[in-house]
Chain A
Amino acid sequence: MKKNILLLITAAIIFSSCDKKDDAITETLDIPGKVTVNFDAVFGTSDFALNTNFTSGTKTYNFDKFRYWVSNIVLIKANGEEVSVPKSCYLLEETSAVAVQEGAYTYPANKRESVELTNIAAGDYKGIKFGIGVEQKYNDNLSLTIGELSQLNGMTNVSWMWHTSYIFTAVGGKVTEGTTNKTIKVETGLNANYKTVSLSFPQNVKIGSSKATAINLKADVGMALDGIDVITTPTVGAAQATTMTAVANNYNTKVFSVVSVN
C-alpha cells in the first residue's frame, strides 16, 4: 500500500510540470504573449530615409546612417508592476554599408526598425521603458555579450576601442547650410550617457496569447540633433564631451514618442 501511495505521489510530481500550459487551459488570458515594438525612424513630419534631403530651418541634411542600441526593455503594467525583458539588447538601424575596423570588412547596409519580444506576461500595460546605449557591465567589458551585443558591427570602432565603450548612438551623413557643406558624425557613448527612455501609452494595451500586440514608436532623427550646431561641431564623440551629453539627453527625452499601441 505504502508503495502505491509513493507511486501516486511520483506520478503527481511528474505530471505537475513547470510549464504553465496546463493551468492555462482554463485561463487562456494568462498565457504570455508576443509584442512587436516598432521604432519608426522619422525626420520631423517626414518618414526617414537614407540619401534623401531633409530641411530643418536653414540646414539641409542627407543621412547615410542612423543606428542605436536599445537595451533593458521594461514593460509597465497598468498596476505599475514592471516586467523586464531578459537579455534585451538590440541594434536598431537604417544604415548604408559600414566599413568596420577601418575597412577590414564591411557591415552590410541594413534597415531594422522593429523588435519582437516573446513570452511577455499577460495583462494590461500602460507604458514602456528602455535604455539607449549599453549598460555599464557590458559597456565596461567588450568580452561580455548579451542579446545582439557584439563588437563586430561597427558600433565599436577603433578609436572607441582605445576607450572601452560601445558607440551608443550614431548619426552620419552630410549637412549643407548656404555654401557650407560638412560631413557629420554624431555619436554618443560612455556610461554617464546611458539613458533610460520612459514612455506612457495613450491608452492601456492588452498583452497575452489571444492577440499580437504592437507598440508603435517613432524615433525622430531631427530631434537627436536638436540644439546641436552641426556646422561648427560636425563631429561629436568622446572628445566633444559636453555636446555628446547634450545629444544623449536628446535621445533621453526628445527623440522617442509613442504613436499608437494596439
Chain B
Amino acid sequence: MTKVTAYTLCLALLLLVSSCKKEETNLMVDDEKYHLALPNNMPAWVDDVDNPLTKSGVALGRLLFYDKRLSGNNQLSCASCHQPQLAFSDGVALNDTGVSKQQLHRHTPTIFNLLWANSGLFWDGGSTNLESQAFGPLTSSDEMAQNLYELEAELKAVPKYRELFEKAFNNGITSANVVKALAQFQRTLISAGSRYDKFKRNEGITLSEMELQGLKLVEEKCKSCHQGELFTDNKFHNNGIDISFSDDVEGIYQGRFRVTFNPQDLGAFKTPTLRNIMLTAPYMHDGRFKTIDEVLGHYSSGIKPSATVDKHLFQNNGTLGIPLTTTEKVAIKAFLNTLTDQELINNKTVSDPNG
C-alpha cells in the first residue's frame, strides 16, 4: 500500500466519522442476542422491535420474576401467583394474597406461549403488550402494591442488578426497564414439550386409542376457539357462563366490551389455552369451575343463552350446547392429559434462579 493510498483511506475514515447526522442512541446496548429455539410444530414469531430478546435481558427478567423485592411489602414475587409447577398459574379461583389481602376479580391466567399472544393480555385483552401489562399487577394495591420509585431505589441497592441492568439496557435501572426485562423473560416461557407435541413431531411417542379419540373430539368440537398448536385463537368469546354482564367495578364483568365498547363483545373473554389444562384448575376468568368435569359439563349441558353467546356453541342441531357422552368426556380428558408439559414445569432454565 502506498503512502498516498493509506492517506486517502484515513481521509475517507475521517469523513465517515465526522458525519453531520447525529446517530440515534441505540436502545439495546451491545449485548448478545437471545436465540429462541422453537420446535417445528409451533408457529413462527417476530421479535419485538422496541424490546428485542437479549441474553442479559432474559436473565435479568428471570431474576426479577422470582424476586419479592418487586412487591411493596417484599413478600410477593410474580411467581407467587404464576407458579412454575402449576404451569405458571396459582391453583385458586380468585387470589387474595395480594398486599391488601382483597380478593381479586379475575382468576390468575397462565403466562406461557405469550410471545404469540398478539391481541392483548389480560382476560379482556386490555393490555396491549407484556411490557405495559406488568405495570398493572406491579402497582395495583390488591396485587403487588409497589411504589415504582421505591422499586428503582431497592433494585439500585443490589450490585447484581446494577450490573445486569447496565448490560441489558443503556439507561440502567428504571421501572420501564424492569417491565421490559420481565417481558423478555416471559417470552421465553414456551410450552411445546408435551406428549402430544412429541407425538405430532414423530419423536417416538404414540398416543393410546382413547387419547387419539379425545384428540379427534377436541378437533371436531373445541378447535374453533382452542385453535392450532397454541390451542387458543387468542381471541375473545362469550362462552355462555353468564346471562347478564353488570357494569360494576369499571366494567370488569363485561369482558372485552370494557376495552372495545363494541356491544358484540359483551361478556367475551380471552380463550385460554388447553395446554397444561390439567395443571391449571380452577377454570374460567373467575375460576368458577373447580374441575375439568365441571367445564365439560358446562359445554355439554350448561351453556346459558345471551345476545352475544358465541355461535360455535350451537352444536346441538342448531341449539346451544356441545353434546358429549360420558365416554367422549373420558376420551377428551385423556387427550387433555397429553397436553401437560413436564419439560416446561421442570425447566431449570426458567425456574427460580435462587431456588
Contact = CB atoms under 8 A, between A and B. Distances in A.
Interface of A: 2-3, 6, 9-10, 13-14, 17-18, 101-102, 104-105, 140-145, 151-152, 156, 158-159, 161-164, 237-239, 241
B114 to A, nearest CB: 15
Given A141-B128, A143-B51, A156 B147 contact: no
Contact of B127 (A104, A144, A159, A164): A164
Contacts of B247: 239
A96 B129 CA distance: 32
A3 B131 contact: no
Given A9-B11, A104-B139, A142-B179, 13 more contacts: A3-B3, A101-B147, A143-B50, A143-B132, A143-B176, A151-B135, A151-B176, A152-B149, A158-B140, A161-B132, A162-B250, A163-B126, A237-B250
Chain B interface SS verdict (over half): helix
B145 interface: yes
* Highest count of chain B CB atoms <10 Å: which of A105, A161, A238: A161
Nearest to B10: A10
Contacts of B15: 13
A169 to B, nearest CB: 19
Contacts of B132: 140-143, 161, 164
A99 B264 CA distance: 36
Contacts of B7: 3, 6
- Complex A-B, nearest 8 residue pairs according to Cβ-Cβ distance, in ascending order: A143-B131, A18-B20, A163-B126, A164-B128, A104-B147, A142-B132, A164-B132, A143-B176
B44 interface: no
A142 B14 contact: no
Interface of B: 3-4, 7-8, 11, 14-15, 18, 20, 50-51, 72, 122, 126-129, 131-133, 135-136, 139-141, 145-150, 175-177, 179-180, 183, 247, 250-251, 258-259, 261
Given A9-B11, A162-B127, A142 B135 contact: yes
A142 B131 contact: yes
Contacts of B4: 2-3, 6
Contacts of A2: 4
A161 B11 contact: no
A101 B7 CA distance: 62
Contacts of A9: 11
A158 B127 contact: no
A158 B175 CA distance: 15
Given A10-B14, A104-B72, A151 B250 contact: no
Contacts of B136: 158, 161-162
* Highest count of chain B CB atoms <10 Å: which of A6, A140, A143, A163: A143
Contacts of A18: 18, 20
Nearest to B145: A104
18 contacts: A3-B4, A3-B7, A6-B4, A17-B18, A101-B139, A104-B150, A141-B128, A142-B176, A142-B179, A143-B51, A151-B148, A156-B135, A158-B139, A161-B135, A162-B127, A164-B132, A239-B251, A239-B258
Given A6-B7, A9-B11, A152-B175, A144 B50 contact: yes
A143 to B, nearest CB: 4
A101 B247 CA distance: 23
A140 B135 contact: no
B127 A163 contact: yes
Nearest to B27: A144
A241 B51 CA distance: 32
A162 B141 CA distance: 13
B174 to A, nearest CB: 8
Nearest to A101: B139
Contacts of B180: 143
Nearest to B140: A158
A113 B135 CA distance: 29
Given A105-B147, A141-B50, A14 B18 contact: yes
B258 A238 contact: yes
Contacts of B259: 163
Contacts of A105: 147, 149-150
Nearest to A239: B251
A114 B7 CA distance: 53
Contacts of A164: 126-129, 132-133
Contacts of A239: 247, 250-251, 258
A143 B141 contact: no
Contacts of B122: 162
Nearest to A104: B147
* Highest count of chain B CB atoms <10 Å: which of A17, A158, A159, A238: A158
Contacts of A6: 4, 7-8, 11
Contacts of B145: 101, 104
B54 to A, nearest CB: 15
A102 to B, nearest CB: 5
B147 A151 contact: no
A14 B15 CA distance: 9
A145 B25 CA distance: 14
Nearest to B99: A104
Contacts of A17: 18
Contacts of B147: 101, 104-105
B195 to A, nearest CB: 37
Contacts of B139: 101, 104, 158, 161
B99 to A, nearest CB: 10
